[in-house]
A and B are shown apart, each in its own frame.
Chain A
Amino acid sequence: MEINEFIAHLCEEFEDLGVFELSPSTVLRNIPGWNSMHILLLVAMIDFRYQVLLSGEQLKTVETVSDLFDLVLQKQNER
């Protein structure tokens, strides 16, 4: 899994935010218009594309796009 591909999938989900460019260092909650619905969108995308279902507890540790990517990788490796 490549982070660029991961970011492209995130951007698709956040179309309504007008987000077309994210970087690994982007802090998710600082994206203008970010709300709890976007957490559900990213959880659904990650479940579908990477077969990892993230809980609220696991997401508490996530600040940036890079943190999220690392968490998904970690959960994939734990399987």
Chain B
Amino acid sequence: MNAKIQNTRIDAIYASVPEKEVLTADYPLFTSDEARSFTKNTGIHARRVATDNVTCSDLCEFAAKQLLLDMKIREEIDLLIFVSQSPDYFLPATSVLLQERLGLKTDCMAFDVNLGCSGYVYGLQVVGQFIQSGAVRKALLLVGDKSTISTSFQDKSTYPLFGDAGTATLLSFSEQAIPWFFNLGSDGIGKQAIIIEGGHSRNPYGTYTEELLNFSGNYHSKSHLHLDGLSVFNFALSKVPISIEQTLINANKSITDLDFMVLHQANGLITRSIARKISFPLDKCLTSIEEYGNTSSASIPLTLALHGSKLASCQNLSLLLSGFGVGFSWASVFLTIDFPKTKLLTYA
């Protein structure tokens, strides 16, 4: 579907990553040649990994607390949305826990959105709907994942790929804001391509063993993340260029109007392949994958925060953001914005 959001402004984007850095070269299941090939093709040199007692909500809370402090708007938040596939509990919703931990008023709507790599752009659309309706003046969009909790050490297709991050984006009502244009989609046919099968209602804990199963030489259990790289790759190459094209048509823009593009940081090869397919210069694709890996739903806001100092003074910047992955689910948005305040924080 296509959508247009009006009167919505991004005021700030803060991101938080764990202190612990893990290098691709140190993954013991890779030979040195494999590590070199992996880094060359995925772009991933290092990633940040949260310790056992740190959750995605902790990373988001850390970013949000600093943002609320800097912007001095704690009492004004009407809506909090937490987008993640690594909540604290089955229930209650993590967003409600964050309302209390952040000291937000109880007259604040809070709910979770269960999406992965497309989640940030979906989050912008959902928050934007509330703001343009006039029901909400200021909203916090907390987006992130602790993907490393679900990857198997013995699975080369997932373990060295993912990093952890949490982000906080402040959005507010503005009559001067230039409209945003979205294209969003879903196709459940891709459900087996990225899946954790065990642990919820379909396969509850206790109904399966934690035995490591062999997937072409990669080993993981039903509680681990399963990733079919080729299916995801084909999905990305077939759907994302069309979604970007449709978004630009909706906005009455062309690819040459874009100052920068931020694609979900799935891996460097996907970014390069999509850019090549749509004839977009690679040096205008902002990235974070090199030092942070695939940070799932957090990858787009983390990338914006990482490049914040370079873009800080830019006004009327034309940006295209595109998230895609687990589901399958995808979403793209064309934004014309004055670049918001950003910070990239280290959670120690």
Interface residues of A, Cβ cutoff 8 Å to B: 16-17, 33, 35-37, 39-41, 43-44, 47-48, 53-56, 59
Contact = CB atoms under 8 A, between A and B. Distances in A.
A35 B37 contact: yes
Nearest to B38: A37
B278 to A, nearest CB: 11
B231 interface: yes
Contacts of A17: 37
B273 A48 contact: yes
Contact of A56 (B38, B230, B273, B277): B230
Interface in B22-42: 33-34, 36-38, 40-42
Nearest to B157: A36
Contacts of B276: 44, 48
Interface string B34-55: 1011101110000000000000
Among A39, A40, A43, the most chain B Cβ lie within 10 Å of the Cβ of A40
Given A40-B269, A41-B269, A53-B238, A47 B229 contact: no
B325 to A, nearest CB: 15
Contacts of A37: 37-38, 41-42, 269
Chain B interface size, as a band, is: 20 to 34
A6 to B, nearest CB: 18
B228 interface: yes
27 contacts: A16-B36, A16-B37, A16-B41, A36-B229, A36-B230, A37-B37, A37-B38, A37-B41, A37-B269, A40-B41, A40-B229, A40-B230, A40-B233, A40-B269, A41-B41, A41-B269, A43-B233, A43-B234, A43-B237, A44-B276, A47-B237, A47-B273, A48-B276, A48-B277, A53-B238, A55-B230, A55-B234
Contact of A44 (B157, B216, B231, B237): B237
A71 to B, nearest CB: 15
A40 B216 CA distance: 15
Contacts of B42: 37
A16 B230 contact: no
A39 B37 CA distance: 13
Interface string B263-288: 00000010011001100000000000
B228 A56 contact: yes
Contacts of B230: 36, 39-40, 43, 55-56, 59
Interface string B231-254: 101100110000000000000000
Contacts of A59: 230
B233 A33 contact: no
A63 B33 CA distance: 24
B269 A44 contact: yes
A33 B37 CA distance: 9
A74 to B, nearest CB: 17
Given A35-B34, A37-B269, A44 B40 contact: no
Nearest to B233: A40
Given A43-B237, A48-B277, 20 more contacts: A16-B41, A35-B37, A36-B230, A37-B37, A37-B38, A37-B269, A40-B230, A43-B230, A43-B233, A44-B233, A44-B273, A47-B237, A47-B277, A53-B234, A53-B237, A53-B238, A55-B231, A55-B234, A56-B230, A59-B230
A41 B230 CA distance: 10
